[in-house]
Chain A
Amino acid sequence: MILSLPPLAHFYENAISSPHSLTFVFIGYFIVLAVCFYITVQTLRKIIHYRVQMRNLAKQFGLPNE
């Protein structure tokens, strides 16, 4: 029965219906880690951006860094 199904249906049978497949594990881990990585990088970029701006202003107007 399964052998007569088209490839996409095979994939569905093997990957989505089977709890023993790693497909959903990888999708879940990928989504979570990608979102965490993206937010961390964005936050770090902002930290660096404001630090650089602060340093430039301090240099320009002779103010303390902090």
Chain B
Amino acid sequence: MSKPSSASFANLQGHYFHYLGNPTRLRKFLSVFLIYIGIIAAFFLFTGLFLALFYAPQDWQQGEVFRLIYIHVPLAWLSCGFYLLLSLFCVLFLVWRNPLAALLASQTAPIGMLCSALCLITGALWGRPTWGTWWVWDARLTSVLILFFLYLGFIALQRSYQNSPEGMRLCALLGIIGAIDLPIIHFSVQWWSTLHQGPTFRLGHVPPMPAEMWLPLLFTFFGFSFGGLWLICARTYVELRKRQLKALLQTAIPKTEASLT
């Protein structure tokens, strides 16, 4: 008698979790995964950027400046998405004490920080012609700035402890506690009366703009998402290679030299 499908799925998840919990297997998996994800990211990004600049029409009110939506919004979503991913890795590290989860979290933080910094810069560039100001202490803008500082704090804390397990435990706590900023960012435009506009896209609602405007956004969103994921995986791969080389130089080579002599 076959097991229920949910149990099989849980077993499958558990199997892959343990399978990829090994540094060598993860490195081999990433070496193949990086090629596919890179091709997908390049396709979505180039198509999305082409559509954003040449296919999407001008906005009736904001004119050409509206085109900043195609880079600003994906970066805003990703800065939150990558923090969620970082928190997930922190939970995995604290619960299962898996050092690979700590490694993945440490590689996610710089990419997330970059996304939030670029989101703030493109937001300022969009705000100047439309709001008449580069920056305002608005709830949405301030909460994203806090997210940027959370990323910065995570990186600074991790580097100050030089990747020690004790330091990583503190980083993991910061990563989990900092996740409280994510619902604040999301609901800030609803809880407070802000200069920043409310959510344009909602799950289960038809987008309030024509398809030729939201289709390029969908492409750039997938492009930046896969691109960011590629960067995280590539940085993890590089770090695993570095560790492998270090371990090899420390153990295998002296042994080989000894056996040769």
Q: Which A residues have a C-beta under 8 Å from some C-beta of B?
A: 16-22, 24-25, 27-29, 31-33, 35-36, 39-40, 43-44, 46-47, 50-51, 53-54, 57, 61-63, 66
Residue among B24, B231, B256 making CB contact with A40, cutoff 8 Å:
B231
Q: Are A22 and B231 in contact (CB under 8 A)?
A: no
Q: Are A32 and B122 in contact (CB under 8 A)?
A: yes
Min CB gap A62→B, angstroms = 7
Complex CA distance for A24 and B156, rounded to whole angstroms? 32
Q: What are 16 A-B pairs at a CB distance below 8 A?
A: A18-B63, A19-B62, A19-B64, A20-B63, A21-B65, A24-B65, A24-B68, A28-B125, A31-B121, A32-B75, A43-B235, A44-B234, A54-B244, A57-B249, A57-B253, A61-B257
Complex CA distance for A16 and B58, rounded to whole angstroms? 17
Q: Which B residues have a C-beta under 8 Å from some C-beta of A?
A: 24, 28, 49, 53, 58, 61-65, 67-68, 71-72, 75, 114, 118, 121-122, 125-126, 128-130, 227, 230-231, 234-235, 237-238, 241-242, 244-245, 248-249, 252-253, 256-257
Complex CA distance for A60 and B253, rounded to whole angstroms? 10
Q: Given A28-B68, A63-B248, answer yes or no on A43-B238 (Cβ-Cβ < 8 Å).
A: yes
Interface of A is mostly: helix
Q: Are A21 and B238 in contact (CB under 8 A)?
A: no
Number of residue pairs A-B, CB distance < 8 angstroms? 93
Q: Given A32-B118, A43-B234, A61-B252, answer yes or no on A27-B75 (Cβ-Cβ < 8 Å).
A: no
Residues of B within 8 A of A35 (CB): 114, 118
Residues of A within 8 A of B253 (CB): 57, 61
